[in-house]
Structure 1
Amino acid sequence: MTPLKYLNAYSPALQDQVRQLIAHNRLGDYLGQRYPARHAVQSDKALYAYTLALKQEHLKNAPSIDKVLFDNRLDLTHRALGLHTAISRVQGGKLKAKKEIRVASLFKEAPPEFLRMIVVHELAHLKEHEHNKAFYQLCEYMQPGYHQLEFDLRVYLTYRELQGRPPSDTSR
């Protein structure tokens, strides 16, 4: 039985469906049919603008974001596809917190739906720090169908791994 480490929290029935796609060499077809496009957000500057536009659309009152970038060091060995941080610095006599969002570089070549899902996830952390019910409700509000996208992203990571491409490898 093929181990599905990215899908181990899902029901055995769903895992079996993915295993059947793998056994019949159809996992790539499934992903290609559902997510045929690749997004155009390829630079940190473009990612920053993309993220700010989503924030402005859904979270106008959330704290501002100081930096957004693709990060080559984020990978699944650290269980991180994205990261939100608040870096505290002393400026003058005050302590300032700079909010940063880092997105794993593998999203440069991912379908646009997956990039949006990970950015929505990190933006939701501006309002909700824990992965609780309110957090996922906020994700679903910003990205209808969020849970399906999260599942399909895990299928995508499984497919990349089966193709011999580590999830953090963005070379073609």
Structure 2
Amino acid sequence: MTPLKYLQAYPPQLQDQVRRLIDGNRLGEYLEKRYPGRHQIQSDKALYTYVAALKQEHLRNAPGIDKVLYDNRLDLTHRALGLHTAVSRVQGGRLKAKKEIRVAALFKEAAPEFLRMIVVHELAHLKEAEHNKAFYQLCEYMLPDYHQLEFDLRIYLTWRELAD
């Protein structure tokens, strides 16, 4: 039985369903049927605008975001699809924290639903640092089908790895 590293935390019956799709060479077909489109957000500027609009819609009182960009250095070997950071700098006599969100460049070619899921995940970290119950409730508030999208994103990552 092939280990599915992106799906290890899921129940065995779900993993078996994915394995059957892989064995039948139908994993790509499944993804194409569920997520046929590709988003048009290709530049860092467009990504910033997209993230800022989602933040404004759902998290008006959260700290502002200073920088948003696609990052070619984020990849699956680091187990990071997106990052949120607070870079502290001294300005005059004050310490100022700049909030940044970085999204793995592989999402330039992904379905819009996957990009939104990653952005929602990183935005949720503005309010909740840990992956706890409150964090996932916030993700669900911003994106009601968050958990299904996270699962399908893991299937997408499995498919990408098999294609390489």
* TM, length-normalised to structure 1: 0.95
Partners of 1:158 and 1:2 in 2: how far apart? Answer: 11
Higher helix proportion? 2
Partners of 2:77 and 2:47 in 1: how far apart? Answer: 23
Deviation at 1:76, TM superposition (A): 1.2
> What is residue 118 of structure 1 aligned with on the other side?
118
Q: How many residues align?
A: 164
Equivalent positions of 1:30-45 (< 5 A) are 30-45=30-45
> What is residue 83 of structure 2 aligned with on the other side?
83
Work out the percentage of aligned pairs sharing the same amino acid.
82
> What is residue 169 of structure 1 aligned with on the other side?
none
Amino acid at match of 2:114: F
> What is residue 26 of structure 2 aligned with on the other side?
26
Deviation at 1:3, TM superposition (A): 1.5
Unaligned 5+ runs, structure 1? 165-172
> What is residue 68 of structure 2 aligned with on the other side?
68
SS at match of 2:123: helix
Unaligned 5+ runs, structure 2? none
SS at match of 1:84: strand
Partners of 1:64 and 1:115 in 2: how far apart? Answer: 20
Partners of 1:3 and 1:159 in 2: how far apart? Answer: 13
> What is residue 147 of structure 1 aligned with on the other side?
147
Q: Tell me which stretches of 4 or more aligned residues in structure 1 moved more than 6 Å.
A: none
> What is residue 54 of structure 1 aligned with on the other side?
54
Partners of 1:55 and 1:146 in 2: how far apart? Answer: 16
Partners of 2:72 and 2:66 in 1: how far apart? Answer: 19
